[in-house]
Amino acid sequence: MPDIILASTSPYRRELLARLGFPFECRSPLVDEETWKQMGLPPRELAEELAQAKAASLAREFPNSILIGSDQVCACEGRTFGKPATAERAREQLAFLAGREHQLITAVAVHHAGRWRTHTDVTRLRMRPLAAEEIERYVAADSPLDCAGSYRLEQRGIALFDAIASDDHTAIIGLPLLALTRLLRECGLAIP
């Protein structure tokens, strides 16, 4: 079995990939995400390009490995939201998303033996209207500073929503395992 490299430092993606039960390594991708975000790409294209760029950035160091890159973008009414990094930006993002439907776009790209395999998952979410105090309490409770859209559905963030339509709930956390297992089987991995 070839080595499997996850081009990510995300603890969420590492935890999700570990659920599949095979050995892998996590490596920091050699990609400046901020430069990509300034290119003005549409949200879906941005997620797909970044996922592929993350995996490709490690190809020279690991030419015989299976490389996995993933990226996630939150999009609402023509705006793109990434990781807020600060509590103030998280509150601003949540105030904008409150009472609106948005998309969480999660792309995954797998490179092996000179071939790319890709998948993009689009989840539709409708956040309920939120008062400023609710947003304040939520950000203090979950500290979603490293989450696109400023929420953690796997924690208290689930209480912020009226509806969620998703083909794969693991995509919401950051790595669509249903699609990824298919892509890895196409690479010749035996996955139960």
Computed over its alpha carbons, how large is the radius of gyration of the chain?
17
DSSP 80-138: EE----SHHHHHHHHHHHTT-EEEEEEEEEEEETTEEEEEEEEEEEEEPP--HHHHHHH
Contacts of 157 (CB under 8 A, 6+ apart): 138, 142, 144, 151
Residue 71 catalytic? yes
CA atoms of 98 and 147, how far apart (whole Å): 16
Number of H helices, E strands in the chain: 7, 7
Closest CA to 172 of 49, 22, 72, 32: 72
At 11, phi and psi to the nearest 5? -65, -25
**Catalytic hit among 3, 71, 142, 167:** 71
Closest CA to 19 of 187, 169, 121: 169
Catalytically active residues are 71
